Amino acid sequence: MNIDISTIADTTAAATGVIYSTKNRCELSAQTATAALSESDCDGFWLDGSDTVEGREFPFSLADRLPALREIHRGVDGGPDRAIVYGLSYLLARGYKYLALVENDILLTPDWLPTAIGAMERASADGLRVGAATVRTFDRRILFVRPGYAVMFNIGAGMIVFTREAAEAVLTTYRSTNGREIHRACRKMTQGDISQICEQSLTEEHWYSADWFFDCALMQLGFASVGVLPALARNIDVDSARYGIRPVAEAQPAAGLDPSLFRIYRRNLSWAAQTEDSVGYFFDPQLDRFVVFPHQFPSTAYTGEWKTKWQQSFGPFEVQPTNTGDTLRWELVNGSCDVAFRTTDENKHCRITAGGSAIKHPLPPAAHIAIQISNAVGETVPIEVQPDPGATISGVFFTDPQPWFRGLANWRKRMEVLGLIKRFPIETEAPSVVGEFDESVPDLIGHAR
């Protein structure tokens, strides 16, 4: 990732850092940038991934009219999830108390920032440990309506404010999800059925983007997500009503679950204590497999030069080797696993070495190709996977949990090695809200090529 950073003004002692993200669509930015980057007590950072000259130059045409704008970062490409992890990691490194994400299709009302923080404070006074807030409060994403705020089961990355602790938790658990997992988490925490209120079917077959997992993961780690009432933001690129949702216009809307279930939710939220595996893994009950996405492998698992490709609702990152011989390594400790590949090219192969025995597998052009690796001896088997350049690895499906997996281990190292984020030469890193886990992995045995 080659990022060009232009300083517009010095940063301040503001409590909040705001990421405003764009890619082309200058007509939207012309309408939304002023409200996003004019609040007091905040520092704004414009992240642009445009691939047109007009898009790349447009932020500078507005810079002198945006009082909160401090820097413009150009070249933040590779999809919205890459912009999210880059932006949050940058704000964490700078030490902000609150970290906000705003996309350029969201039109905000002035004073949106103090209103969002006010909702967090009201929820805290209501006995919740709050991790995230939004002023784009959709009616059919509400769990509970409370005096002066709403508890949300989904906020979305288009407009969200995190605490430092919650931003850290989101980055450590970053992955996509499916409807069954969202439904199950909400059912566990509230004893209510959100399928009766959500506009989405929440079927287990349907995959959802990573920002659907933000609130799900936070909930299981003891954090609440809240929304302001009424909403102070709306999408301007689409009419959300076409999709069955609308920003809440009332101070006390008729929405959400039975209010009597709030006491159960608040109690379970305070008791929430998860291991690193239970939130980090995605378990697919239909396949009866534990899924590890490529960006969740330890940083030491990769040798060579790898690049990521964005897949919105699965991963959301897959990986592709740059050179022949680039290797992904792990140890198969229990059971067997299936490695999922994708390629559109002819004559691609993957060399898989299991326990010193190497096989070169053909990879025919297909959306999904799975190659099974068995552990017949019941012992730890070192695995090396070397796809041809042009083929991608989408994920690895394990029959059994793997002791080396640390779903909440150091996300910075994992994402840096794949080029998703950079190490910033600025303030100290935030302490991990999820505790210090053992990040060591078994020594991997090198094999002759």
Give the residue carrying structure tokens 């704000």: 91
Residues 240 and 336 in one domain: no
Whether residue 436 lies inside any domain: the answer is no
Whether residue 447 lies inside any domain: the answer is no
Last residue of a domain, one of 275, 301, 332: 275
Which tokens belong to 63?
Answer: 């810079």
CATH of residue 410's domain is 2.60.120.260
Beta-sheet strand order (sheet of 130-134): 4-7, 69-74, 42-48, 16-22, 98-103, 159-163, 130-134, 224-228, 149-152, 142-146
Write the DSSP assignment of 41-77 as a string of letters.
SEEEEEEE---SHHHHHHHHHHGGG-TTEEEEEE---
Residue 276 has pLDDT above 70, yes or no: no
Residue 279 has pLDDT above 80, yes or no: no
Whether residue 95 lies inside any domain: the answer is yes
- For residue range 305-346, list pLDDT tens digits in order: 999 999 988 899 999 999 999 999 999 987 889 999 999 888
Whether residue 423 lies inside any domain: the answer is no
Which tokens belong to 305?
Answer: 């030069």
What's the domain count of the chain? 2
Residues 231 and 355 in one domain: no
Whether residue 439 lies inside any domain: the answer is no
Q: Of 26, 32, 22, 20, which is closest to residue 235 (Cα–Cα)?
A: 32
Q: What is the pLDDT of residue 205?
A: 73
Q: How many whole angstroms separate alpha carbon 231 and alpha carbon 138?
A: 8
Measured in degrees and rounded to the nearest 5, phi and psi for residue 18 equal -115, 125
Residues 227 and 303 in one domain: no
Whether residue 432 lies inside any domain: the answer is no
CATH of residue 181's domain is 3.90.550.10
Whether residue 136 lies inside any domain: the answer is yes
Q: How many whole angstroms separate alpha carbon 33 and alpha carbon 105?
A: 9
Last residue of a domain, one of 275, 301, 334: 275
Q: What is the pLDDT of residue 338?
A: 93
Q: What is the pLDDT of residue 406?
A: 64
- Compute the C-alpha angle 137/96/281, nearest 5°: 65
Q: What is the pLDDT of residue 2?
A: 86
Contacts of 113 (CB under 8 A, 6+ apart): 16, 18, 39, 41, 42, 100, 161
8 A C-beta contact, residue 334 and residue 313: no
Which tokens belong to 72?
Answer: 């413009």
Once rounded to an integer, what is the mean pLDDT over residues 166-195?
Answer: 93
Whether residue 431 lies inside any domain: the answer is no
8 A C-beta contact, residue 396 and residue 372: no
Residues 212 and 355 in one domain: no
Pick the more confident residue, 421 or 120.
120
Once rounded to an integer, what is the mean pLDDT over residues 122-144?
Answer: 96
Residues 267 and 287 in one domain: no
Q: Which amino acid is at 178?
A: N
Residues 96 and 164 in one domain: yes
Q: Which residues pair with 160 in a beta bridge?
A: 101
Residues 299 and 254 in one domain: no
Residues 177 and 291 in one domain: no
**Banded pLDDT at 366 (limits 50, 70, 90):** confident
**Banded pLDDT at 292 (limits 50, 70, 90):** very high
Q: What is the pLDDT of residue 444?
A: 27
Q: What is the pLDDT of residue 446?
A: 27
Q: Of 182, 202, 170, 183, which is closest to residue 280 (Cα–Cα)?
A: 170
3-state class (DSSP) for residue 122: helix
Once rounded to an integer, what is the mean pLDDT over residues 108-131?
Answer: 96
Q: How many whole angstroms separate alpha carbon 157 and alpha carbon 74?
A: 20
Residue 368 has pLDDT above 80, yes or no: no
Q: How many whole angstroms separate alpha carbon 424 and alpha carbon 426?
A: 5
Residues 379 and 247 in one domain: no
Residue 431 has pLDDT above 50, yes or no: no
Residues 96 and 217 in one domain: yes
Q: What is the pLDDT of residue 397?
A: 93
* Range of the structural domain that residue 405 is part of: 279-417
Residue 436 has pLDDT above 70, yes or no: no
- For residue range 214-244, list pLDDT tens digits in order: 999 999 999 999 999 999 999 999 998 898 9
Query: Helices H, strands E: what count in the chain?
Result: 10, 26
Residues 255 and 323 in one domain: no
Q: What is the pLDDT of residue 168?
A: 94
Residue 448 has pLDDT above 50, yes or no: no
Q: What is the pLDDT of residue 334?
A: 78
Exposed, middle or buried: residue 11 (CB in 10 Å: 0-12, 13-18, 19+)? middle
Residue 13 has pLDDT above 60, yes or no: yes
Residue 147 has pLDDT above 70, yes or no: yes
What mean pLDDT, rounded, does the chain reach? 88
Residues 353 and 285 in one domain: yes
Last residue of a domain, one of 207, 241, 275: 275
Give the residue carrying structure tokens 């992995």: 441
Q: What is the pLDDT of residue 8?
A: 97
- For residue range 16-35, list pLDDT tens digits in order: 999 999 999 999 999 999 99
Residue 429 has pLDDT above 90, yes or no: no
Give the residue carrying structure tokens 């990573």: 210
